[in-house]
């Protein structure tokens, strides 16, 4: 089973993906994690995307599609893939469809986590404050300025995917404002 978790920054995609990894033996493919890793390890690509990411803008389709292609080709997903933070544009959605078809696989469900903007801002700024309180550093893009850019990128570039997958009959929406376990159980209920 291959699924997409769709939703704005702070909606809980990463948390819910982790729960699915634990409960269903699936593999989480987070383009955000892959890009942060490239940034930290200082690869050429990492250097190229650093400023764009810190600002909260989207990196190019070419880069993220390349990352996903590599992971899919490496295979090894017993329980299937969870796409977390990918696709984020219509071009990425088309590319994912093509990649899966090439590999003889299907996309089974797209789960939209519905939340409201006020909660997102609270969660993300809370996440940054917690990281600092724990003696660590907050994500470079977990600040008010970048958050505005990230939200705008979501509404302008990613939210059209809701209509795209609805039209394909693949969209499932769940209330992302429930408790973590509550959201996890709603996700389980809608998965085909």
88 catalytic? Reply is: yes
Distance CA 165, CA 93 (A): 9
Q: Which of 13, 19, 36, 39 is catalytic?
A: 13
Binding residue for ligand AMP, selected from 2, 141, 174, 183, defined by CB under 6 A: 141
Quick check: 86 binds ligand AMP (CB under 6 A)? yes
> What is the chain's Cα-based Rg?
16
Which among 80, 119, 84 has a CA at the least distance from the CA of 100? 80
Other C-beta atoms within 10 Å of 24: how many?
15
Total of chain residues touching ligand AMP, rule CB under 6 A: 17
Where is 145: in which H helix or E strand?
Answer: helix 144-153
**Which listed residue (20, 58, 120, 183) binds ligand AMP by CB under 6 A?**
58
Q: At its nearest, how many Å lie between ligand AMP and the CB of residue 66? A: 11
Using the contact rule CB under 6 A, the part of the chain among 82-90, 96-104, 127-135, 160-168 near ligand AMP is 82-90
Q: Is 13 a catalytic residue?
A: yes
Interior angle at CA 57, CA 146 and CA 5, nearest 5: 95
Q: Which of residues 11 and 187 has its CB atom nearest to ligand AMP in the complex? A: 11
Q: Active-site residue 139, yes or no?
A: yes
Query: Which of residues 148 and 185 has its CB atom nearest to ligand AMP in the complex?
Result: 148
Q: Is 69 tagged catalytic?
A: no
Reduced to 3 states, what is the DSSP secondary structure of residue 116?
coil
131 Cβ contact list (under 8 Å, min separation 6): 137, 138, 139, 142
* Degrees, nearest 5: CA angle 32-36-41: 150
Q: Contact region for ligand AMP (CB under 6 A) — 57-65, 96-104, 112-120, 160-168?
A: 57-65
Q: Which residues bind ligand AMP (CB under 6 A)?
A: 9, 31-32, 35, 52-53, 56-59, 64, 85-86, 88, 92, 141, 150
Q: Which residues are catalytic?
A: 13, 88, 127, 139, 150
């Amino acid at each position: 089973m291959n699924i997409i978790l769709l939703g704005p920054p702070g909606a809980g995609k990463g948390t819910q993906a982790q729960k699915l990894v634990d409960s269903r033996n699936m593999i989480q493919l987070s383009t955000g994690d892959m890009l942060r890793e490239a940034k930290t390890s200082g690869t050429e690509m990492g250097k190229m995307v650093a400023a764009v990411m810190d600002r909260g803008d989207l990196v190019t389709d070419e880069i993220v599609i390349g990352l996903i292609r590599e992971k899919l080709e490496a295979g090894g997903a017993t329980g299937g893939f969870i796409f977390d933070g990918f696709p984020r544009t219509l071009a990425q959605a088309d590319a994912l469809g093509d990649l899966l078809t090439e590999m003889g696989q299907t996309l089974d469900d797209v789960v939209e986590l519905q939340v409201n903007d006020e909660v997102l801002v609270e969660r993300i700024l809370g996440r940054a404050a917690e990281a600092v309180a724990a003696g660590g550093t907050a994500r470079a893009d977990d600040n008010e300025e970048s958050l505005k850019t990230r939200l705008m990128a979501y509404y302008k570039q990613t939210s059209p995917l809701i209509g795209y997958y609805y039209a394909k009959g693949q969209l499932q929406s769940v209330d992302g404002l429930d408790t973590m376990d509550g959201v996890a159980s709603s996700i389980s209920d809608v998965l085909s």
